[in-house]
Homo-oligomer: A and B are copies of this chain.
Amino acid sequence: MTMNRRILLAKRPVGLAAQTDFRSDEQPIPEIREGEALLKTLYLGIDPTIRTWLSTAKSYLPPIEIGEVVRSAGVCRVIESKCERFKVGDLVTHLCGWQEYSVCTEDSFATLFPASTNPRHTLGPLGSTGVAAYAGLLYVGRPKEGETVLVSAAAGATGSLVGQIAKIKGCRAVGIAGSDEKCRHVVENLGFDACINYKDDGFREALKKACPNRIDVYFDNVGGWILNEALGRLNMGARVALCGAISVYNEPKKPPGPANYLNLITVRGKMQGFNGMDHWGKHAEISADIAKWMEEGKIRVDETILEGLDEAWRSVNMLFTGENIGKLLVYVADGVTEP
């Protein structure tokens, strides 16, 4: 095999992505030069941020251009190397894109993991998802023991970690999710104290009941009316950590913001945006903590895995239609030394 199959952006999706918004091609596998390494993609990590990059919306990275390989995190195995930093067999996460092969240089933003690490975990709890959940909750939200932590998209990759870490820190963890099945999972398998199905009537009452002492930390993955309701139920001195706004990314026009932001004045609250990437300097420390908690059985990791590059476009939609539980991954290939 000497070809590299790639998925390119053909046109910008409106609302949910369609298969025709993408096209695939095959290019020769890149020949690497001095200072470069060739990587084979094992899994793609599908994050809501990809949907933002598919649009022209302002984000922390520029939009993906039409005709470009779709930008995406992935975990790869080094299969050829002409540089010091990467050795054949190394397990590496980087923005490899939706393609079978990619190239890293000495100074690429890429992270090496011990070759024996479960590759899927390098994209989830031991990778950027873990850093976003940990840093957003503990550095931005700063919950104290006994406080109430609310998190939306609680059955998702980030939300499920946030609630489980909140429990480890002695907080009351309350989730919000989109089905009774997910809510049951969040409480029974992930150990949250409560979880609210936001598709049920009476959300406000349910929130009140689940957060009898109001909300001290709200970790927001969804934006929209749920953020507004959470802002209306904050405790004095509450912190809102803005991780994302998945309810908004598919909207062609920005929906109105949360009218209850005014409550921040009443409760002297704080709403702060963050990006897990800014805390990447703490990755080693954070992933060591999370790995320990996983070993101790305090953190359970769920995954939803799609098979093959051609499923990648569909996977992005699943984040918005709520079909996944836990980390959403696309399987691309076996690693040379994959465990």
Closest B residue, CB atoms, query A58: B266
Tallying the copies of this chain within the complex gives 2
- The 0/1 profile, CB within 8 Å of B marked 1, for residues 221-264 of chain A is 00100001000000000000011110010000011111111111
Residue interface mask A252-293, B partner, CB < 8 A = 1: 001111111111111111111111001000000000000000
Can you name the residue of chain B whose Cβ is closest to the Cβ of A223? B262
In the bound complex, do residue A262 and residue B248 qualify as a contact, i.e. CB atoms below 8 Å apart? yes
A27 in the interface (beta carbon within 8 A): no
Rounded to whole angstroms, the CA-CA distance of A242 and B248 in the bound complex is 24
Q: Do the beta carbons of B254 and A262 come within 8 Å of each other?
A: yes
- Complex Cα distance, B274 from A275, in Å, reads 25
* Interface range on chain A (Cβ under 8 Å from partner): 20 to 34
* Complex: A263 Cα to B59 Cα, angstroms: 8
> Chain B contacts of A254 at CB under 8 A?
259-260, 262
Q: A262, B245: Cβ atoms under 8 Å? A: yes
Residue on B with the closest CB to A245?
B262
Are B268 and A270 touching (Cβ within 8 A)?
no
Does chain B have a CB within 8 A of A60?
Answer: yes
CA distance A278 to B269 in the complex (A): 13
Which one, B243, B245, B248, B264, contacts A273 given CB within 8 A?
B264
Q: Are A275 and B265 in contact (CB under 8 A)?
A: yes
Residues on B with C-beta less than 8 A from A272 are 264, 268-271
**Chain B residue at minimum C-beta to C-beta distance from A253:** B259
Contact call B242/A228, Cβ cutoff below 8 A: no
Chain B: CB-nearest residue to A248: B262
Known: A264-B273, A268-B273, A268-B275. 11 other contacts (CB 8 A): A248-B262, A254-B259, A254-B262, A255-B259, A257-B258, A257-B262, A258-B261, A265-B273, A270-B270, A270-B271, A270-B273
